Structure 1
Amino acid sequence: MKLVSKYETIRQLLIDLKQPLFRYKQVIDAIFKQSIGEYERMTMLPQSLRNELTRTLGPRVCSMAPVKEITSSQVSKVLYATKGGEFVEAVQLTYERGWKSYCISSQCGCGFGCKFCATGTIGLKRNLTADEITDQLLHFRLNGHALDSVSFMGMGEALANPNVFTALTILTDPKLFGLGHRRITISTIGLLPGIDKLTREFPQVNLTFSLHSPFDDQRSELMPINDRFPIPDVLNALDRHIRHTGRKVYIAYILLRGVNDSIKHAEAVAGLLRGRGPGEHLYHVNLIPYNSTEVTPERYRASDALQIEAFVQVLKSKGISITVRTQFGSDINAACGQLYRTQ
């Protein structure tokens, strides 16, 4: 059987070496309670066992090597090098009350080619492994940072990578990261098989659907995935998710000046979300100011404040729950749609 995480590998190694059962707890406690990041420094273990862990897994517990960190007010962006020589980025956001939230990557690059997204210009290099996904957080954990909430909104489409479900198992394991399911958010451009799998296997994990246009033809132009999974089909899957879980579903909507920020668009968004049955009140729209980069087309620009307010008022008048997202990190290309593995 193929072992899919370092934690399974450690457990199997201890079994193969006929170690007593408590050894696994010692290793896991060393990582998650004592923040020991090298196997050689786990001095509660026999030297021979430390040597074997190092030989099998390498000297460091964390497989993702941070090669660059950029910080600005409330935001820290880390560029990691993978063992395969690729690069991915993760972002830490610190809110004024001290809450620390993380935006992590699930793929190196992205193959879905959304026109306004910097990550999409890279193309898909490969899926990250479960360890590479969770080690983005382990880096912060080993350096003394609390992990209060996590969003799969970094590089890549989370539900296109089957390893994300293994990563969710690791993150929610009380013996490992111990994150509450409701402190994790999966963002998707609308991959129906993945949405249905998340509904079945992780019903309490938060789900965000990136809409960005209420019109199928325009959405297909902005986001080619819409040709495979058009808006009505995705919304039907989200209705099923709400019925099964009783949880909110978030609708992400990036406002692009003169493209999708008109009153007509706002009214159409409201039209999509009203009349969906008993769970319609559980849809919540997150409006996101657009963040340009040097690799995204110049024709996409942020909406002005008056247009955003007009869009908000239309949605509110139709009874739609709405939040205009506060943007952090745009000055260091760490905001939504800006991650580009810059070296």
Structure 2
Amino acid sequence: MKRFIGFIKKEFYHIIRDKRSLFILLGMPIVQIILFGFAITNEINNVDIAILDHSKDVTTQEIINKIASSKYFSIKEYIANETEIERSFKKGKIKAVLIFEKDFSKKLTKENNASIQIITDASDPNTANTISNYINSILRNYQQQINKNIHLAYQINPNTKMIFNPELKSVFMFVPGVMTIILMLVSAMMTSISISREKEFGTMEVLLVSPLKPFQVIIGKVVPYILLSIFNATVIVLLSILVFEMPIEGSLLFLVAENILFIITSLSLGILISTVSENQQKAMMISLVTLMLPTIILSGFIFPISSMPWILQAITNIIPAKWFVIILKGIMLKGVGISYLWKETLILIGMTLFFIMLSIKKYKIRLE
């Protein structure tokens, strides 16, 4: 029995001394429960919306204040006319616009009937539906309040219009996300594991003493993954067009260029992971923690970022997938070009340069 207890103690000591085992046993559950608990939600919070108020009377102001005071919405801007609506949506600043008709209060009191149009960005159909339902609920609540002491009830008629995906096809949301995940995993994870495998088996040193120069070895390792990723991206786009009838409203050439940029960004991240990984196991673990979960949960293609706690919202800014999903939706669904997506493009370029510079700094070759 003493031998058995001693054996158990030895196993405990072994686990405690192994930092990787401790992280998997204790760290991963904490990270996962925080991510899944806070990020995975069907609720919306702090969604940016715009107001187009043709009436500008007391009633419309009361409704606007009621919407703004809820935790669900934040008034991002006030639009002057209808021509600004599409531009605001394409900039990605807002998710919905509320349009109050002219003489709203007068029609409500004299005709007992007034209309509000709700325009939502349906590139994310689940969020668009939720926004519409929440606004309708707030309007119904306001209507009940003003009808308490009135015999002839006032009627507010909300009319909802979905743009960029009027049929609310969920595939329009999932195609950009799936493309992002596949390109990230093939480009970054496979590259990091491939280079780490060479280092683990000692074949990297054999390659480095060959007539090829070190940078040629690294380029030779990543070129196949660039070609595979471009092939994957092409297949996904063709399937989304031919099978799922997904439109590409923007420039196809611009879409290709952005895909190649994201592939290079992912490859540079994979090389960075390989520089800090001595073996495939460590490369796989780092890739899963830093790529798989963040790409799925924190990229914004499934769960709205605005509904996450501020700390997670801040973290999403360093996730390359977030910016690529915005770019894909902008090109494919909204038909926008570089004039609207220059910021996201520059961020990906900056991340690529940062990953490459950090990889060069950390990459140390020792030939003995």
Return the TM-score normalized by structure 1: 0.26
Higher relative contact order (CA 8 A, sep 6+): 2
Return the TM-score normalized by structure 2: 0.25
Q: Return the structure number with greater strand share.
A: 1
Q: Return the structure number with greater helix share.
A: 2
Larger-gyration structure (1/2): 2
